[in-house]
Every structure is written in C-alpha cells, then in structure tokens.
Amino acid sequence: MVDRTGAPNPYQKLYLSTSRTTPFPVNIYNNNVLIGTVNISKNNPQKFDVLRNYIITTQQTDLFTPTTKGLYLKAEFPFYANLRFSVFNHAEIITSKGIPSTGKAFYAASAPITVSNNILNFMTSVLATEDNTTVTISGYNPAVQFSNGTTGATNPTMTFTLNKGQSYIIDGIGDIAGNFDGFIGSKIISNKPINVTNGNFNGQYAGNFPSSSDILMDQAVPVNRLGNEFALVKGNGPIGANMEGAVVIATEDNTQIFVNNEIPPIATINAGKYFVIPDSKYILQGNGHYNLYLKTSKNAYVYQILAGDSNSGNETATGGFNFIPALNCYLPKQINELGLINENFVHSNGNPGGILNIPTKLNLITERGAIITVNGANPPAITGPYNMTGTTNWVTYGIPNVTGTITVVSNKAIMAGITAGSDAVGYGGFFAGFPTQPVILQSGDGCIPGIVLTVDPLIYDTYQWYRNGTLVPGATTSSITPTLPGYYTCSVTMGSCAPLVTEKFKVLNCTKLTNASYNVCTSQTITPAFSSSTQTPVPGTVAITTAPTLGTAVINPVTGIITYTVTTPGTSGTDTFTYTFCGNDPDFPDCETITVTINIQALTVMNTTLFACDINGQGTFNLTTANVTNNSPVTITYYPTLVDAQNENAAALITNTTAYTAPNGTIIYTVVKNNIGCKSIAQITLSLFNKAIVLDNYNGIFCDDNLDGTVTLILSNITPIVLNNPNYFTNVRYYANLADANAGNNNTLSNSWSYTATTTIYIRVDSPDGCASVIKPLQFSIGAKVTLITKTVTESVCDDDLDGIKSVNLAQFIPQFTLDPNVTFTFHATLADAQNDVNSVSSPVNITTSQTYYIRFEKNGVCPEVGTLKINIKVPKKSDVLQDKAICPKTTTTLDAGPGFERYLWSTGATTPSINNVAPGSYWVELTFNGCVYKQYVNVTELPLPMITSIEIDGTTVKVGVSGGTPPYEYSLDGVVWQSSNVFYNVPRGAHNVFVRDSKMCEEVKKPFAIINLINTITPNGDGYNEGIDYSALMANDNLVFRIFDRYGAEVFRGTPENRYTWDGRIGGRYVPTATYWYFITWTEYGSTLTVKYSSWLLVKHR
C-alpha cells in the first residue's frame, strides 16, 4: 500500500487465530523470505508486529515498479488472519480471504473521492504467487492521471511482470478530478494467480469535507468467486450523512441492481462501471438496527462503505470500506475463532497517547431459523435476528461492544463482520463469508497403505466417497482409508443445498521396499522384477537411487537390466546400492525400490620373488615356497607365460615345481582358484642372489701426496673400487698372503695400511646369502709426478695505476711451468701448504712488495708436483702538467705532457710530448717510465653559451631573461652599447634585436623582438569603431595567454580559442562600467622556447 497522508504514529499488526486446540506454527513471509513464526491454538490467538516497509510505503520510487511490499502467511492447518494498521487519526482492517482471494481476473475498487485533497488517492496493489506472472490492467478513464506522470490517455493499458512475492503498487492523487472515480472498475488480468488489495489511503466519499478522511482498504477476490445476492448491516453513521451505503461494480454488461423489495432496478450498469447505493436504502428493522438487501442480475463486486463512529459532525472522518461476500447456503456454519476482535492501536486528536481497544459492533448474517451462539451463549434478543426486506431466507444481527476473542457457531450458513470506530477513526471488515468448496486433504503416508483422505468434518451434513466414479459402499463419513489405487472424490451436502463434489484426488500404492543379496567376484547381472505386483516393469523407469561405492551399477536403457561391476576386483568388502522401477499400468503404476547388498568375494593374490645362488648365471628354485595368497583353501598351478596362465594351457604346465632351473629375472605365472570359482593370477619373479665380483688384475697406483716416500691407504676406501656391490657385501677382509685369505682367519691387514714400493695383498668377500666366498689378489704401486718445464720462475710487474698495489693474475705464469692443458694448479703462500694441499690462495692477488708463491700441479693419473714463482714490483709515474681544459666554441688548444718520460703515445697517434690544434673531446697519453707504462686521461670541453629565455615588454620598457653560460652577463640593444642591466627603457616602437654575452666573452647570442602597437582604448557603443580589443592574430604562437583585470585585480576577461582572444567590453552579456583596466598578453614563439610578455592598460569608455 502507499500512504499519502503524511501522518505520524504508524502502527501495523497481524492478528492470527484458529479453532485447532493443538498448537501449530504460522510462518510469515515477505518477498519469499521468512520474517517470523508464531504458534497459535484455540483460545491462544497471537499478534505479530509487521515492519512498515514490509507492507506500506510513502516513497514514489516504490510505485509503478516491481517491489517487495506484501505478506504471505502459511501453516499446515486452517487459521484466520487480518492486518490492523493505523496512522494518526486514521485506521483500517484488512481481513485475509485466504485461498479465495487468489485468481487471474479482478476489477479494481475504491471509494469515489468527493473533495479535492492531495492526501487522498485511489490505490491498487497486485501481489504475485508465482514467478514470471504477467499482469495487464485496462479499462480506466482517459482522464486518470497516475502519480508517475502517465495518464489514461497516454497509457490506456499497463502491463508488468512479477516474480513470486513481488508486488506492484498503482495510485493517483486525490487533487485531480480525473482521479476521483476514473480508476474504479479497471480490469486486472494475469496469466498466473495473483492477489489484489485496493481502496483509498486516504479517501472521502461523503461530500466536500477537506479536513475529514480515513483509510478505506480491503482485499479483493477474483471474478470467479463473486455472487449476486448480498446482505449489509449499516455501520454507525446516521442516515443522511452519506457515510453509509455500498459501491457495486459490474463484471458483465447489462447488470441490473435491485435493493430490498423494490421491483424496478435501482440502476443498470456495464462491466467495469460502478453504482453507489445511497444510505437512504437502508431499512430500519427495529431497535435502531438497519439492514439492506441487495441483488444483481449478474455476479458483481459489492463493497460496503460505512462510518465507524456515530458522533454527529465527526462521522465523516471515520469511514470504512470492506468487501461483502455473496450469500450462499454453503457458507460456513461457524467462525471459530476471531482473536482480540476490538483491538487496533491508534493515535488521534482525542487519544494523543494512543488507544488499543476500539468500540466494536459484531454484525452477523445467517439463514432464517438458525440457532446461533457467540462464545457459547445466545445473543440478546435486542441484537437480532432482524428480518430483511426483500428476502425471507436471511436475517441479520448487530451485537454492540464485543471484546476479546469471539467464536460464532450456527447450525446454518453464517458470515460475520465488524463495524468499529472511535474519535477520528473508523473501519469495518468481514472475517468470514465465502462458500465452502469441499477439498480433500491427505494425511498419513501419502500412499497405500497408510494414506487417509479427509473432507472438513464440521461443515457438511452428509458425505459419500467414490473411487473412479463408482460409489464406495459404506464410505459415508468425512474420512476414508483407501485400500486400492484410483481417483477418489467425495460428494457432500449441507442443509437444502445441492450436493458438491470435490476435485479428483489420485491415490497410488506406496513404493514397495525390498532387499536382495549377491555374492560377487567381479560382476553381477540383475534383472528388475516385482516381488508381489502382477505388473510388468517398464525399462525406462529403472533408476539407481543410491549408487554403490565399491563398484558401478549401469542400466541397459533398452532392457532395464542392471550390470554391477566391482571397481577393484580382489578386494573384499560389502557394497550396497538401491534401485527403483515402476510397472506398466498407465494411471496407477506400482513401484518397487530394492536395496541390493553385494558381498564382494576377494581372492587376494600378491606377486612375490624367489631367490637362489648364482651358479654360472643359473639358479635352482622351489616354486611351491612362493607365498602368492593368504586365502585358503586354494589350488595353485604354475605356467611360464601370462597367456598360458590366462588360458590354463595344460601343455605348458610346470611340473618340476620344487627344483625349477632358470636364469635371473625369469617370471613364472600362478593361477590361484578358490572354492566359489573366483580366479586370480599372480607372478613369481625368479632372482639370483647378488654375486661378488672383484676386479681381475687390479693394479692400484697411488701418489705420495705429501712427498714423504710413503703411501698410506684406507683399505675400506679400496673396497668400492674393486667390488661391484660393497653395500650388499659387507663382510670384506684384506690379507698379506693367499694362505690366510683362503683360511679366512684373523690375520687381516689394518684398515690403514702403508707401502713404500710395489706390493700385492689379497681381498676375501663373503656372501650374506651363504654362497661361495670370492678371493682375489690386489697390486699397489707409487705413481709418477707431473712433469714441469722448470720448477722456478721469477717475474716483474708494474704498479701501472700508482696506487701502491698491483693486482696480479698468477695464472698468466703457468705456461712457463707447463703447457699441458690437463694439468690443474693451486697457489699457496708456503711450501708446506703446497705439499699438503691446504690454504690455497685465490688468484688474482694484490702485491705491494716482492712476493714468492708455491704452485701445486696436479693431473689425473699422475701424482702432484710443486713449483716456485717469485714476483718483483716496479713503479711508473704520471704527468703533473697535463690538465683538463675548457675552451670557447669553435676553437682549439694544445695539450702538453711535459718532459721526463722514456716514451709518449697519444690517443691521436702522436709520439711527441705535446699535441696542437686539439678540438673539444676526451684524450689519453701513454707515458713510459722505468720500463712501465702509465695511461693518463685528459678532457677538452666547450664553454656553454648563454640563452635568452624570455623578453617581457611593458609599454616601452623591455626586460630580458637569460640562463646558461657563465655569469655575469652583459646586454646590448641592437648591438650598439653594452650594459650590465637586463632592462632597457624608452625603447622605440618597431623591430629590434637584443644581444647577450657572458663573462667568457666567447660568442654573442641574439633574439629579435618588436614593440607592437598595444590597444589602450575601446568604445563598445555599437558605432562600429573601437568596439573591442582583438589579439586573434597571435593565435599562431604557442601558449598564448590574454587576460584583463579591473583596478581591484579581479579578472574580467580571459582569452580562449573559443572567443578568439577578442573582448567586446562585456561580462555575461552586460557592458562593464567606464573605467581603466590593465591586461597582459604572453606567448611562446612558435618553434622555440622563448617566452614574450606584454603588459598595458586599457580604457573602456561608453559614449
């Protein structure tokens, strides 16, 4: 809903109640999101506070667009629900019509507006119950002006799409005449079920009362729920105040409207049109009780309009608006129960602190002769029953001042509503009054056996059940427990009403649950079959509902046969899966779900290896000792190939299983079978134990590394050299003679063993596998040393950079010792370090005095040798007279190294002490002294020239900006007189050159400039002369700036390419006052970086 009142103190609550004694929850949703849950039961009604933004808006942005305003309530059992809401001085109640409120065709309703007021409106909202619901609204007056700016003329229809839980709010403001009644009767059509709430928020229908209005709102029902006979009980307004009456809206053309016992129709209207029944048609039936009987020739909407309060002069502010259900003998017989019927919290002028309990009258409409109780007691006689003029079938009651929770019970059809009001608020609503359509509800398991079908046991008088259209004998109560599948219906009657029949309810047999078990080695085929049904399984219905975990179950789509396959054959375990299938009855197929247990029979085999001693590359093996399975009992046969084993080739069967001879790596295949037919193949690898292999004729040559004449060996280091697998053969011993080695006694050699000449010892290797020992002789010799050209070298080096240190690459002297590229070397500071190969020195080395180094030479297969290298250092000198020079551009100079050197070599190729005509650049000269050469570098550079960077002209004064060169500078105008100042005064108009030179006097630089004719006066008066100042001719230059300021420094004009640097003496279209202004103009000369600036004054004069 949309609130146009702008009033404070909003309040909104849901009231929920039920006749069920066992508590149950009611879930409350907004936009499909659960916002609350309340538990209700008989005599335990509940209230739920609703956040205003869930149901009501004041924002225009929420209108005419899908939004989330609206509530949806759901429970497992029937209950009553109504929304009671208010703002200051205004209140209303909307009673939920439940399922009957949902439909696809409606006509919009509101009270006609009788006074222009912008807090009044007409309003309709649509709530979708399914996604992708398309709604189209049409038939409103072209004069309607919606609050979004569209009109009935520009938009004769509106269409929108909503998803479930979304709503769409439409309104028009009440200060536009076309909105007074132009939307009443608009047709609302949807492709899926919707709910509609409509009315005014606020409305005034009684006359020209600009200060009186109230909320007029109720939920609508679709066209297919309408009737044509109605009864109304007047509210609290006096006859003649125009507050009581009814709005009738036709759904078909030529709808006649009759009131009471009047013969001619009071009006005849077409579909979408409305007629207001005046309060004068209410008939006093006694004791101040007025009622109105209304009948239409075709089904129509009837909304009662009423006053909630009877205070004279105030009743026009207490309007109510409620949908009136049509009379029908199938109306319910009880309204059980209405919770806290007199509550609706509201603030008003008379109750500024708020009031909860509102004076409330209960209106009852029932069939004549009905016996009625309210909360178990008969109503007082003064409250009714009262006859209705125009019908003898229905009577009415009016019970004032009802409070609390109400239960109304009748033995005939009945409906109930309320009229309530206090001070400035009033409202009304009907809580029940829709014909009951019998509906079958199910309970229990939902299928046979266990399902129970029930039709409401309290409403109807008689029941008769049918299966597939055939009467079920003896099934004459409100419930039936089906034993056979089929379409079930129930025919009910109530009083003298014609029988009603429910919609068909389909009942099926429950899916039967059974079990099956299989023992499987690798796979199993399963054909679905019913355990008890006579129907034939349909292959297309076979489905795996729970998949196996240790295998796969695949369905043949043509036959429905399931093939189970073990994922890992040979691994024992228990697997389960579930499949379902249905029979071939087209309407009532039987279904069965079977849980299959698979007992996987694991015949576990393992590959293994047998070992034997290596005798000339062969071994003898007992195949029966190979452990290929832990299962028992089993039979095992042996084959030389996998193919033979797979085919169990009898011709290839190995029979000498206990003494089978084969080379290393032979594989034997065994076939292992158990007593249930499972078979597996394992392989036996025949391997020979490692055989100790010692090198034949071994002659170990080792060096005397420290040059002491003795070679010491660690015999355990010899083992991996001469033995093929020392990590496997760990029992290795060395002997000095063959006899001890053969005996294997304890006369072994020490692990650290030395020799001084060629010697033979013996190695003995014992097998850990019990195989024969291996004994071999080993010979050891002392190796020859590296051959050197000379063992001593002396060299001199120069300190060529005069820093007292010379970096010497010692490796450059190696060719004087040896030319053998296979010889490696290390440098040492002492002879002892070289002999023991420790503390090597990295090359190059830094030498400050004469130094001796010892070089250790090594080569693979040759023993090391040591050489001696002595290095002496010499010192050259440099020129003290040769210095860097700076010269003027385009000149040369002389570079002189001075005397005292043995030889000169310049980078120019000259060999003299000096060179002439030297241009700017970098040079060097090699100076030889004491047999050493020193390379000295010198630079000749050009002196930089000054650069004129700016020329500023202020009238006849010129200021020159200079950078670069070597200050101080001198300046000259046109090259005549030189001065130290950079400012020239009284420079005549015309072209000039400015010259600049620096302290080095190398070369003069110049720049041309001109004293231009600056404009100092404009007269923008429209005579065509001196109308403005125009510097557009300077736009070819870069960075052009033209700005004009008043005498206070405020800018009045800025030149741009858009205004072409031209000013016409105006600001914002208005001429500036006659006054003197000043301006400057500056630019960068095109193609250079020279900045030129002019400043001057400007007189703007109006004549």
Checking if the pLDDT of 182 tops 60, the result is yes
Checking if the pLDDT of 1070 tops 70, the result is yes
486 with 471: CB under 8 angstroms?
no
Selected residue with higher pLDDT from 77 and 302: 302
The pLDDT tens digits of the residues spanning 797-837 come to: 888 788 888 889 999 999 999 999 999 999 999 998 998 88
- Mean pLDDT over 302-322 rounds to 88
Longest dimension (CA), the chain: 154
Confidence of residue 993 (pLDDT cuts 50, 70, 90): very high
75 with 15: CB under 8 angstroms?
no
pLDDT at 1037: 80
Confidence of residue 392 (pLDDT cuts 50, 70, 90): very high
89 with 215: CB under 8 angstroms?
no
362 with 337: CB under 8 angstroms?
no
The three state secondary structure string of 733-749 is EEECCHHHHHHCCCCEC
CA 402 centroid distance within chain: 56
* Percent of the chain with pLDDT strictly greater than 90: 73
Checking if the pLDDT of 456 tops 90, the result is no
SS3 704: coil
Encoded tokens for 567: 């994922």
Most confident option among 119-133, 421-435, 1026-1040 = 119-133
| Angstrom distance (rounded) from CA 265 to CA 282 | 16
| Angstrom distance (rounded) from CA 453 to CA 1039 | 94
Q: Which residue has the tokens 């130094």?
A: 851
| Angstrom distance (rounded) from CA 704 to CA 1008 | 93
Determine phi and psi for 833, rounding to 5 degrees. -65, -40
pLDDT at 701: 86
pLDDT at 836: 87
Cis ω on the peptide bond leading into residue 889 (within 30° of 0)? Answer: no
Encoded tokens for 711: 């070679």
How do beta strands 1066-1067 and 1070-1071 pair?
Answer: antiparallel
Cα separations in angstroms, 552 against 180, 338, 547, 1093: 73, 60, 7, 93
798 with 874: CB under 8 angstroms?
yes
pLDDT at 432: 63
Torsion of CA 280, 286, 291, 296, to 10 degrees: -80
| Angstrom distance (rounded) from CA 246 to CA 227 | 15
| Angstrom distance (rounded) from CA 418 to CA 402 | 9
Burial class (CB in 10 A: 0-12, 13-18, 19+), 374: buried
Encoded tokens for 837: 């190969």
Confidence of residue 1103 (pLDDT cuts 50, 70, 90): low
Encoded tokens for 204: 């005034």
Encoded tokens for 925: 């000269």
For the chain, first and last CA: distance in Å? 69
The pLDDT tens digits of the residues spanning 86-123 come to: 999 999 999 999 888 999 999 999 999 999 999 999 99
Encoded tokens for 1046: 């008043």
| Angstrom distance (rounded) from CA 218 to CA 228 | 19
| Angstrom distance (rounded) from CA 230 to CA 594 | 60
Instruction: Compute how many other C-beta atoms are within 10 angstroms of the C-beta atom of residue 1074.
Output: 12
Q: Which residue has the tokens 């393992």?
A: 606
Q: Which residue has the tokens 């936009």?
A: 31
198 with 109: CB under 8 angstroms?
yes
Encoded tokens for 290: 């007025």
pLDDT at 521: 84
Q: Which residue has the tokens 């084969």?
A: 662
303 with 197: CB under 8 angstroms?
no
Torsion of CA 825, 827, 828, 829, to 10 degrees: 150
DSSP class of 145: B
Confidence of residue 23 (pLDDT cuts 50, 70, 90): very high
pLDDT at 528: 96
Checking if the pLDDT of 775 tops 90, the result is yes
**Average pLDDT over the chain, rounded to an integer:** 92
| Angstrom distance (rounded) from CA 688 to CA 663 | 8
| Angstrom distance (rounded) from CA 589 to CA 280 | 65
Checking if the pLDDT of 435 tops 60, the result is no
pLDDT at 436: 63
pLDDT at 433: 54
16 with 49: CB under 8 angstroms?
no
| Angstrom distance (rounded) from CA 184 to CA 204 | 14
Q: For the chain, which domains are there?
A: 11-432 (no CATH), 441-507 (2.60.40), 512-600 (2.60.40), 608-688 (no CATH), 698-782 (no CATH), 792-874 (2.60.40), 885-942 (no CATH), 962-1010 (no CATH), 1014-1100 (2.60.40)
Instruction: Compute how many other C-beta atoms are within 10 angstroms of the C-beta atom of residue 667.
Output: 14
Checking if the pLDDT of 1011 tops 90, the result is no
Q: How many residues does the chain have?
A: 1103
| Angstrom distance (rounded) from CA 508 to CA 532 | 16
Confidence of residue 430 (pLDDT cuts 50, 70, 90): confident
Confidence of residue 1027 (pLDDT cuts 50, 70, 90): confident
Determine phi and psi for 869, rounding to 5 degrees. -125, 120
pLDDT at 141: 97
Whether the model clears a pTM of 0.85, i.e. scores above it, the answer is: no
**Side chain identity at residue 301, one-letter code:** Y
In DSSP notation, 759-800 reads: EEEEEEEE-TTSPPPEEEEEEEEEPPBPP-S-SEEEEEEE-T
Q: Cα angle vertex 786, ends 784, 790, to 5°?
A: 130
The pLDDT tens digits of the residues spanning 152-170 come to: 999 999 999 999 999 999 9
pLDDT at 678: 81
pLDDT at 434: 55
| Angstrom distance (rounded) from CA 450 to CA 852 | 113
| Angstrom distance (rounded) from CA 231 to CA 694 | 124
CA 38 centroid distance within chain: 34
The pLDDT tens digits of the residues spanning 911-949 come to: 999 999 999 999 999 999 988 898 989 999 999 999 988
How do beta strands 355-357 and 343-346 pair?
Answer: antiparallel
